[in-house]
Structure 1
């Protein structure tokens, strides 16, 4: 069985929360989680991220409980591409929304495998046996500089252009989606987050918070509080998925971002 909790917060500086999140548990044997971090003026980022978390679930329906891992990866990729087309078309027809876009990290999981799709710098991590493993690679200028050896990890953490993306959902008519499958087992957790968490809170601190003996809801609240304590200069959104070895009733979670 999979359990999930999520929370989105406007932070301490921004006037609009341009992050969006969606979690749906145990639908035809699969759970879906999405984090999107919008960008663009005149609240366009807010619109883009909301469109992403609306269109990706629609693009996945109907889900086949007997679908193979490869089939699900293709379905998730197609759903993200559909969302990209919808956002791009919407923005192209409205001058005030030109150039709007959003990051997205989406996970479709059952108790054995998690299929992850992402664009931008929102991240997915796996927590297993006391270790935090980053599963996604940021589509950002700073990450490109880091991979090419032009800057160090320490320089990357404080680079003045660390928020510049090389890829985003909705800014172009077509988009390349990174898709991967990872295996996980009872006791593992998956963490999805916007850079309002990963950009402000050290990974060691994230890990220690997730490992606390508390409920998933308390853990996501504590992670958001850590980002606020670190300055809270961005919106912050956190999703935790837990792989637990027990049965339970299907449910769907929705929560308004505050």
Structure 2
């Protein structure tokens, strides 16, 4: 059965203002309803390799038909994460200088009945619906754990000096715990996948205002990147927008 789903998408990545290399990767393939953002870590270009391994793994494993049931889609997401985890760890074994490399990842797939989203790390995924922005993911980070325990406020977390210390990443450990978020899509839903280089620099209130603009997806994607740079651009910045069309 063919999927009667039309999507529009735009992606952009930028090195930012303070980094010597871009360790982010993104992937857009509308024909197979696959979209992702990965943010590398590890330095010495190793983070760039890790995020690219994740993106390449998804590209290789996604079936060209794109006609998946919900259960098959969830199984595919897990397979991509686990395969990428294994590939990154194999790379580290062959290149010990890259020890400690890994990546965060957001992987969004659409299926007959809705969408499924795989998430690890502190990159984020959002959905804009009827003018309201909802964060679909929870950061796997030291600061988020402190927020959950009531030790610090959400406002304090934004500027905490340890806000970039993450508790989960692809490639760091042999066993991988993946968050899977499932849901239904509606016409005009707008999904945002992004690295923390965006959300550390731009508040969710400002992100919402930009996404609500009557501009093309490409213009809004570029505006998100430029706003992050205007506000400091301390990290690499990547954003992917996916809109469900009538």
Gaps of 5+ in 2: 1-5
Q: 3-state DSSP class of the match of 1:176?
A: coil
Whether 1:173 and 2:174 are equivalent positions in the alignment is yes
* Alignment check: 8 A CA contact 1:60 1:76 kept: no
* Alignment check: 8 A CA contact 1:73 1:180 kept: no
Distance 1:82 1:200, change over 3 A: same
1:132: which partner in 2? Answer: 133
2:25: which partner in 1? Answer: 20
Whether 1:9 and 2:14 are equivalent positions in the alignment is yes
> How far apart in 1 are the matches of 2:86 and 2:177?
12
Moved more, 113-122 or 51-60: 51-60
* Alignment check: 8 A CA contact 1:120 1:166 kept: yes
* Alignment check: 8 A CA contact 2:69 2:112 kept: no
> How far apart in 2 are the matches of 1:55 and 1:11?
26
Distance 1:126 1:112, change over 3 A: farther
Structure 1 residues 113-132: aligned runs within 5 Å: 113-132=114-133
Structure 1 residues 35-54: aligned runs within 5 Å: 35-54=37-56
Off by >6 Å, runs of 4+ in structure 1: none
* Alignment check: 8 A CA contact 2:66 2:111 kept: no
| Alpha-carbon offset, residue 110 of structure 1 | 4.6
TM-score by length of 1: 0.90
| Alpha-carbon offset, residue 92 of structure 1 | 2.1
> How far apart in 2 are the matches of 1:46 and 1:26?
26
May I ask how many residue pairs the two structures share in their alignment? 241
Whether 1:58 and 2:60 are equivalent positions in the alignment is yes
* Alignment check: 8 A CA contact 1:57 1:79 kept: no
* Alignment check: 8 A CA contact 1:7 1:238 kept: yes
Gaps of 5+ in 1: 246-258
1:229: which partner in 2? Answer: 230
* Alignment check: 8 A CA contact 1:59 1:82 kept: no
Structure 1 residues 165-244: aligned runs within 5 Å: 165-244=166-245
> How far apart in 1 are the matches of 2:73 and 2:45?
33
1:251: which partner in 2? Answer: none
